Amino acid sequence: MTILHFPSLPLPTAQIAIVGLGPGDVGEIPLAVWQLLHSGRRVILRTCRHPCVDSLGQIADLQSCDDLYEQHAAFADVYAAIVARVLAAAESGPVVYALPGHPWVGEMTTAALLAAAQEKGVTVYVAGAASFIDAAATALGIDPLDGCQVVDGMLLAARHHPPLDVSLPALIGQVYSRQVASDVKLTLLNGYPAQQPVTLIHAAGTPAQRTQTISLHAVDRQGDFDHLTSLFIPAQRPGGSFNDLQELIAHLRAPEGCPWDQEQTLGTLREFLLAECCEVLEAMDNEDDAHTAEELGDVLGIVAMIVQVATEEGRFQMADAIRASVEKLTRRHPHVFDTANVPDMDGLYSQWDAIKAQERADKGQKPKGPLDGIPASLPALEKARELQSKAEKSGLLVRADVAAENSALAALLPPGSDAAALGRLLWQLTALAKTRGLQAEAALREYAVRFRERVG
């Protein structure tokens, strides 16, 4: 397939010309496109729902594809039918396929038509025009190169979390209905506050152009949406995205950064990570949202520092860590992302065990024992709880029997005792251990190790 971009080669060499009609004003149609539209060739419009169509003047052989939208329920089927129509028309002579905006911006049929034409050996010529991005940027008075993210409203509506950096502006196209606006809003609310100011842009690039700034939570309560509606989200104040954090950490580690940060290693950061995780747990226990958010930020800072050190040493990058997590979570949820069916939680746990076993086999690792998989760095009390759970699940231990071994101790915590009573008993045991010259944490950890060696 040969793709000719105007004005590289003469027009007659291409059997199909894909042209853009611009954002809406007929005066914005490029001269090259106008000449093609009035060259006597057959013209196929993707849709007549475009402000400039009525002003195109006399075109002898003009056809739209609006009927295909009525015949098919799914957009994929519509686009396939459009491609087939254009290719069929090209068999009888040169054809012009005209689209709103620019052929390469928000137009899935362009790539599909080019691929199909290549298979058939049909030459294609592409002539661009201004896109909705140009018109929206003009209406908003912004420079898109200032970090503006551009995303299709349909793609955003199908997600659960927005793929956007909140510290950068974002332009969302094709918010053509109240339903799409509602779905887009719900996705955005997973990453932006409800009161986030946003701007609806209507009919950008036409005499009817207008903008409307509102709060995000109210975006789907407005009066009108159509194929010329877009949504703009200004950047939040700097510092709110993970990219901001990674940039800051990289700066601190750079030659012009901080001596303390520069001297950190994976070994020194281990202690800080453990301490920060404990502070998060404390904030969560206190149900202090502001403190929890702050402490989680500290954990993320240590994580970013660990990855930065690893990046500098050529070990791995943040994308590797995130990709490993995404792939693992996807792999371990076939009942969500595939066709697996689990009847209950027991079935779910069995499925997870099977998946984990397969993962180890794929890595060439020996199967895990019933007591494997407990991090050595866990606090002793949590390690004992995990060890007992795994042992009981494997039939190596019955918790009720263990609890009844020391009748005097069991009497100190009778049935119906609350957390305060248990805490008091543990407190007293800790004090008793100290008076006997023992460390409760170390003693419990050592006993757990001996238990595992004995039964595991």
- Listed residue (112, 313, 151) closest to 230, CA to CA: 151
Taking domain 136-233, whether its CATH number is 3.30.950.10 is answered by yes
Predicted confidence band of residue 2 (pLDDT cuts 50, 70, 90): low
- Listed residue (379, 354, 380, 386) closest to 368, CA to CA: 354
pLDDT score at 456: 62
- Listed residue (305, 302, 279, 303) closest to 292, CA to CA: 279
Predicted confidence band of residue 160 (pLDDT cuts 50, 70, 90): very high
3-state secondary structure of 31: helix
Burial of 98 from C-beta contacts in 10 A (0-12 / 13-18 / 19+): buried
DSSP letters, 214-261, are EEGGGGGGSS---TTEEEEEPPPPTT-SHHHHHHHHHHHHSTTS-HHH
pLDDT score at 325: 96
- Segment 124-136 shows an average pLDDT of 94
Instruction: Quick: pLDDT tens for 254-313.
Output: 999 999 999 999 999 998 998 999 999 999 999 999 999 999 999 999 999 999 999 999
Pairwise pLDDT comparison (354 vs 326), residue with the higher score: 326
- Segment 98-103 shows an average pLDDT of 95
pLDDT exceeding 70 applies to what percent of the chain? 97
pLDDT score at 9: 39
Please give the Cα distance from 168 to 241 (Å, whole number).
9
- Segment 171-175 shows an average pLDDT of 96
pLDDT score at 430: 92
pLDDT score at 304: 98
pLDDT exceeding 90 applies to what percent of the chain? 69
Burial of 341 from C-beta contacts in 10 A (0-12 / 13-18 / 19+): exposed
pLDDT score at 394: 82
For the chain, how far is it from start to end, CA to CA, in angstroms?
65
Predicted confidence band of residue 6 (pLDDT cuts 50, 70, 90): very low
182-221: string of b/e by CB count within 10 Å (b at 16+)? bbbbebbbebbeeebebbbbbbbbbeebeeeeeebbebbe
Whether the upstream peptide bond of residue 7 has omega within 30° of 0, thus cis, is: yes
Cα-flanking dihedrals φ and ψ of residue 44, to 5°? -115, 120
pLDDT score at 60: 82
Predicted confidence band of residue 141 (pLDDT cuts 50, 70, 90): very high
Please give the Cα distance from 17 to 90 (Å, whole number).
10
On the question of pLDDT at 63 being above 80, the answer is: yes
Question: What fold, for 242-331?
Answer: Helix Hairpins (1.10.287)
pLDDT score at 1: 52
pLDDT score at 356: 86
On the question of pLDDT at 129 being above 70, the answer is: yes
Per-domain residue ranges for the chain?
Answer: 3-130, 136-233, 242-331, 372-455
On the question of pLDDT at 8 being above 60, the answer is: no
Instruction: Quick: pLDDT tens for 378-417.
Output: 888 988 998 888 888 888 888 888 888 888 888 888 999 9
- Among 56-60, 148-152, 398-402, the range with the most confident prediction by mean pLDDT is 148-152
pLDDT score at 133: 96
pLDDT score at 27: 87
* Identical fold between 3-130 and 242-331: no
Cα angle 113-115-121, degrees, rounded to a multiple of 5: 95
pTM, full prediction: 0.80
Predicted confidence band of residue 94 (pLDDT cuts 50, 70, 90): very high
Instruction: Quick: pLDDT tens for 279-293.
Output: 999 999 999 999 999
Average pLDDT taken over every residue of the chain? 91
Please give the Cα distance from 431 to 426 (Å, whole number).
9
Let me know how many helices (H) and strands (E) the chain has, helices first: 19, 11
Question: What fold, for 3-130?
Answer: Cobalt-precorrin-4 Transmethylase; domain 1 (3.40.1010)
109-143: string of b/e by CB count within 10 Å (b at 16+)? bbebbbebbeeeebbbbbbbbbbbbbbbbebbeee
Dihedral of CA 104/155/184/161: which sign? negative
Q: Which two tokens stand for residue 104?
A: 């390469």
